Amino acid sequence: MSTEIEQDEPALEVDADAPSLLGKGEHGGVREAVSAYLRRVRGGDMGPLPAVAGLVVLVAIFAAANPLFLTERNIANLFTQAAPLVTLGMALVFVLLLGEIDLSAGVTFGVAMGVFVKITQPGGMPWPLAVLVALGIGVAVGGTIGFFVAKIGVPSFVVSLGLFLGLQGVMLVIIGAGGTYRLIPEPIKAVQNRNLPPWAGWTMLAVVLGILLAVALTDRLRRASSGAPNAPLSIVLAKLGVVAVLGAALVFYLNQNRGTAVRTLEGVPIVVPVVLAILMVGTFVLDRTRFGRYIYAIGGNAEAARRAGVNVPLVKWSAFVVCSMLAVVAGFFFVSRVGSADASTGREIVLSGVAAAVVGGVSLFGGRGRLVHAMIGATVIAVITNGLGLLGFSAGANLAVSGGVLVLAATVDALARKRSGAIGV
Amino acid sequence: MTQPIVELQGVTKSFGPVEVLKGVDLVAHAGRVTALVGDNGAGKSTLIKGLAGVQPYDGGTVLFEGEPVSLHHPREASRLGIEVVYQDLALCDNLDIVQNMFLGREELALGTFDEGQMEAEAARALQTLSVRTVKSLRQKVASLSGGQRQTVAIARSVVKKAKVVILDEPTAALGVAQTAQVLELVRRLADSGVAVIIISHNLQDVFAVADDISVLYLGTMTARLEAKDTSRDDVVGYITGTKTMTEVEA
């Protein structure tokens, strides 16, 4: 790629006695890669491992306690229940990675949805235009928080808490106390209430696997052309295999008829491919672009990032805008499922969103976490809500258990951080 | 003597009423190690933060290869080829070695990171520095020891093909063996044609590695000496202000 010869390149010579580090660790052989991974986990970088373990345990407990839990209908239900929370959790990852927080993400989507349902009432605006208006509200709110945090230096906790209160007032003005507006546009309703035909579900899985494989192979070719070694192909294929098996099981399950013999209800809910698309695009941005890398760098050491020439205020501001826009998308999933918006829409969900991210392994201290972690964490919380509901527990028990899980996850995060700071491998 | 790569002429910097730099001159030549010494509060850190573009000077001229340049942003300094290895290292703990070494100047291909290219260059840089203790290029910096972090920070300037490398107390936190290694590295950097400016309190290190010694005393440059023509007692005298300006033109 860079074949030009640097004329004034310092003529430092390679020390022939020193070992080259190329092809060590993650990019070495199977054994090297596994031991590098274990070293990371021991160093406190556990990622979503605790959440995955928790998920397995919870599913086992609920499945044993209530036979309804693993029915096709409930699993499909679980997906649509979790979708707003997953999306909100992913939105919050962008600011949590900076070490910031957005407490107003929930009411932001509340205001956007209040406006959206109101202007799409019969005789109102065409829905695609209204979608843009709603996203625009997200940009405006995110831009406002970002301005105060990045330019002025007000702690994000305070700014977003202020907006959390203020936007609830805006909601009351828009919708009126006690008022409720029904969601009219069919395409928005369909997202959470309609399903893909079975063949489309399989196509979706094939497309996802195809993209993952193509990206992995392109990476390998590119690395090879730079003279950097690749991890064994078997590791890539093993990872893909896990995704393929889990994905196929879910698509197969969701393609079963979960309605009645007379009225069939089958297929993957439409929201699933939408969430997957957000996950994949977002992960791409965070892992492979400067914007994403700088978010991690600022979360790790903002001063180091600044000294390296990163425009810290701009990156922070943009992250808040992305967060609020994705929160609005979560809002669409929410109203699509509920079917209406009222003055309290989005008020309670935001802390669950933060909890989802933290439970999944995103650090509240910034710099550590991935979008998929938020997805796993949100699934844990959705499973708790769903399972306790099936077992007939009250909403009170549900809140108490979810809160306990959050504190547990934050404790694991703090301990992991301590450990990774103390360990000197 | 050839034209210096960097020449500061009468730079000033104040923080409110406090005048930290009162018109400082400094030169650094390619292939030479210039030691910048001075007591605490003499203005050493302020001087290099200005050169790095992190904290711009209030007044004075900066000549880079004879041309006046503006240094108001880290990117401007970086574009000229001025790199600073800070005392607090300025590494991101949560990123790995390669990510840290390329922070702010990632290699892109098709708009996305060219990780292979970056990895290969990082490996070469670390190999030139005879690094033996690191297990993997993808190790998080949080898991490195003090000496290893110092090496990564210095390797960053090698990767960036810097023309001027400024080291702020590079040996302050290191053991004896690591100090020797870092000083050897500084010498190799200079011998390859880089202008190295090293800030140190440790006169033993200064005399071990420096060609020129510039002494800063309360915001003014009180002496510019060649290391081979001076003694430790003289330098201590200039640092503490008991000796006054007798400039030895280098």
| Mean local confidence (pLDDT), B10-32 | 87
The label of the residue with tokens 């640097």 reads: A6
Which comes out higher in pLDDT, residue B44 or B174?
B44
pLDDT, position A321: 97
Confidence of residue A203 (pLDDT cuts 50, 70, 90): very high
Q: Which residue in the set B114, B123, B145 is minimally distant from A20, CB to CB?
A: B123
Q: Could you state, in order of their start, the residue ranges of all structural domains in chain A?
A: 48-194+269-416
| B residues 165-224 closer than 8 Å to A (CB) | 188-189, 192-194
CA distance A139 to A311: 20
pLDDT, position A44: 66
Distances (CA, A) of A134 to A92, A393, B187: 18, 36, 61
Q: Which two tokens stand for residue B167?
A: 């080291």
Task: Kindly determine whether residue A423 and residue B143, on different chains, have CB atoms separated by under 8 Å.
Answer: yes
Weakest-pLDDT range from A104-113, A128-137, A286-295, B15-24: B15-24
| Mean local confidence (pLDDT), A301-315 | 90
Whether B131 contacts A21, CB under 8 Å: yes
Confidence of residue A91 (pLDDT cuts 50, 70, 90): very high
pLDDT, position B192: 78
CA distance B45 to A6: 32
Model confidence pLDDT, tens digit, residues A28-67: 667 777 777 777 777 666 778 888 888 999 999 999 998 8
Which comes out higher in pLDDT, residue A143 or B109?
A143
CA distance B135 to B154: 18
B108 contacts on A by Cβ (under 8 Å): 290
Whether A403 contacts A385, CB under 8 Å: no
For residue A194, which of A259, A127, A252 has the smallest C-alpha distance?
A: A259
For residue B189, give how far its alpha carbon lies from the nearest alpha carbon of chain A (Å).
7
The amino acid occupying position A196 is L
Q: Which two tokens stand for residue B206?
A: 């200064």
CA distance A127 to A392: 39
| B residues 52-111 closer than 8 Å to A (CB) | 52, 54, 73-75, 78, 84, 86, 89-95, 99, 103-109, 111
Other CB atoms within 10 Å distance of the CB of residue A85:
25
Residue A424 has pLDDT above 60, yes or no: no
Confidence of residue B89 (pLDDT cuts 50, 70, 90): low
Weakest-pLDDT range from B33-42, B64-73, B237-246: B237-246
Model confidence pLDDT, tens digit, residues B131-143: 666 778 888 888 8
Relative to beta strand B212-217, strand B108-109 is: unpaired
Residue B212 sits at φ, ψ, to 5 deg, of -120, 150
For residue A424, which of B134, B156, B53, B194 has the smallest C-alpha distance?
A: B134
Whether B28 contacts B166, CB under 8 Å: no
Q: Which two tokens stand for residue A370?
A: 């991935």
Residue B231 sits at φ, ψ, to 5 deg, of -130, 165
Whether B20 contacts B46, CB under 8 Å: yes
CA distance A307 to A239: 37
By residue count, chain B amounts to 250
Task: Kindly determine whether residue A227 and residue B120, on different chains, have CB atoms separated by under 8 Å.
Answer: yes
The label of the residue with tokens 């008022």 reads: A179
Residue A8 has pLDDT above 50, yes or no: no
Element (H, E) at B50: helix B44-51
Distances (CA, A) of A291 to A3, A120, A148, A304, A317: 27, 35, 20, 16, 11
For residue B240, give how far its alpha carbon lies from the nearest alpha carbon of chain A (Å).
31
The label of the residue with tokens 């209908």 reads: A73
**3-state DSSP call for residue A318?**
helix
**3-state DSSP call for residue B67?**
strand
Model confidence pLDDT, tens digit, residues B168-219: 888 877 778 778 878 888 888 888 788 999 998 888 888 888 898 888 888 8
Other CB atoms within 10 Å distance of the CB of residue A119:
16
pLDDT, position B250: 39
Whether B74 contacts B166, CB under 8 Å: no
Please tell me which residue of chain A has the smallest CA distance to B194: A10
Task: Kindly determine whether residue A12 and residue B158, on different chains, have CB atoms separated by under 8 Å.
Answer: yes
CA distance A302 to A380: 32
* DSSP classification of residue A147: I
Specify the CATH number of the domain A48-194+269-416: 1.10.3470
CA distance B129 to B57: 33
A300 contacts on B by Cβ (under 8 Å): 92-95
Residue A27 has pLDDT above 70, yes or no: no
Weakest-pLDDT range from B78-87, B128-137, B159-168, B201-210: B128-137
Residue B9 has pLDDT above 60, yes or no: yes
Residue B128 has pLDDT above 80, yes or no: no
| Mean local confidence (pLDDT), A81-91 | 95
Task: Kindly determine whether residue A6 and residue B161, on different chains, have CB atoms separated by under 8 Å.
Answer: yes
- Substitution target in A4, A13, A21 with the highest count of B β-carbons within 10 Å is A21
Task: Kindly determine whether residue B115 and residue A228, on different chains, have CB atoms separated by under 8 Å.
Answer: yes
For residue B181, give how far its alpha carbon lies from the nearest alpha carbon of chain A (Å).
13
Q: pLDDT above 70 covers what percent of chain B?
A: 94
For A332, what's the count of Cα atoms within 13 Å in the CB-facing half-sphere? 26
Burial class (CB in 10 A: 0-12, 13-18, 19+), A395: exposed
Task: Kindly determine whether residue A22 and residue B123, on different chains, have CB atoms separated by under 8 Å.
Answer: yes
Please tell me which residue of chain A has the smallest CA distance to B130: A18
Task: Kindly determine whether residue A20 and residue B117, on different chains, have CB atoms separated by under 8 Å.
Answer: no
Whether A385 contacts A409, CB under 8 Å: no
| Mean local confidence (pLDDT), A295-299 | 95
Confidence of residue A422 (pLDDT cuts 50, 70, 90): very low
pLDDT, position A4: 39
Task: Kindly determine whether residue A297 and residue B145, on different chains, have CB atoms separated by under 8 Å.
Answer: no
pLDDT, position A11: 45
Spell out the domains of chain B, with CATH numbers in brackets.
Answer: 1-81+162-250 (3.40.50.300), 93-161 (no CATH)
Other CB atoms within 10 Å distance of the CB of residue A221:
11
- Substitution target in A7, A12, A365 with the highest count of B β-carbons within 10 Å is A12
For residue A386, which of A53, A90, A85, A109 has the smallest C-alpha distance?
A: A85
For residue B149, which of B128, B126, B127 has the smallest C-alpha distance?
A: B126
Task: Kindly determine whether residue A420 and residue B194, on different chains, have CB atoms separated by under 8 Å.
Answer: no
| pLDDT mean across residues, chain A | 87
Relative to beta strand B164-168, strand B82-85 is: parallel
Q: Which residue in the set B116, B131, B134 is minimally distant from A223, CB to CB?
A: B116
Interface residue B116 vs chain A (CB under 8 A): yes
Confidence of residue B249 (pLDDT cuts 50, 70, 90): very low
Confidence of residue B78 (pLDDT cuts 50, 70, 90): confident
Task: Kindly determine whether residue B115 and residue A424, on different chains, have CB atoms separated by under 8 Å.
Answer: no
Instruction: Give bridge partners of residue B217 from the DSSP assignment.
Output: B220
Confidence of residue A5 (pLDDT cuts 50, 70, 90): very low
Whether A367 contacts A317, CB under 8 Å: no
Weakest-pLDDT range from A29-33, A324-328, B223-227: A29-33
pLDDT, position B106: 83
Model confidence pLDDT, tens digit, residues B101-119: 898 888 887 778 888 888 8
